Structure 1
């Protein structure tokens, strides 16, 4: 896609999901060293948004609204909110 070799189109839903995931990925890379940045979504989290659950499970079950909440959470940890 980046090379301009893809002529398809993406729905707004897909674009929103991609944007949230890229933001989460980049935010985690800025916050943590590589091993923790890669593992963070798979680790139980005691924060109120997660209530002891793994962020990835919360995002899968909650869809776009939870993806966006997790992204805002990470942005806030970085001091962006």
Structure 2
């Protein structure tokens, strides 16, 4: 039987969803996030969907928005691991007050919890610029 492009795209999306959620929940654990914070970072899915994803990530079919959010969070996590090779410091950075103009004394997590995907992008961009010596 021949697999259609639509079927192949659905299978790829399911694999990305499962892997992305597993990585997200590992990061959330490292960052000591609460369920409500995780829900916001994922784009505010229903609580039922969120807890189903948490219980069985391999069954999830995430939207493009949620996959994009997870992608930014993975990039943020990776940048922090590179910038701050001490894992404890890297994981704590996200919740510490930051005097950079972008954060105005709030933490990066506070900025990301606005609910806007653009804020995830901005934090990722800030860390990438810091890594490259531009910030």
Q: Where on the TM-score scale, by shorter chain, does this alignment land: which range?
A: 0.7 to 0.9
Query: Structure 1 unaligned runs (5+)?
Result: none
Aligned length: 79
Query: Structure 2 unaligned runs (5+)?
Result: 1-17, 20-56
Residue in structure 1 matched with residue 116 of structure 2 by the alignment: 63
CA offset at residue 8 of structure 1? 3.9
Q: Normalised by the size of structure 2, how large is the TM-score?
A: 0.54
Residue in structure 2 matched with residue 17 of structure 1 by the alignment: 69
CA offset at residue 76 of structure 1? 0.5
In our comparison, the structure showing a higher alpha carbon Rg is 2
CA offsets per residue over residues 2-57 of structure 1, 9 Å max, x none? 4xx93542111101100000000000000002121000010000001100001101
Residue in structure 2 matched with residue 27 of structure 1 by the alignment: 79
Aligned CA RMSD, in angstroms, stands at 1.9
Higher relative contact order by CA 8 Å / sep ≥ 6: 1 or 2?
1
Residue in structure 1 matched with residue 125 of structure 2 by the alignment: 72
Q: Normalised by the size of structure 1, how large is the TM-score?
A: 0.87
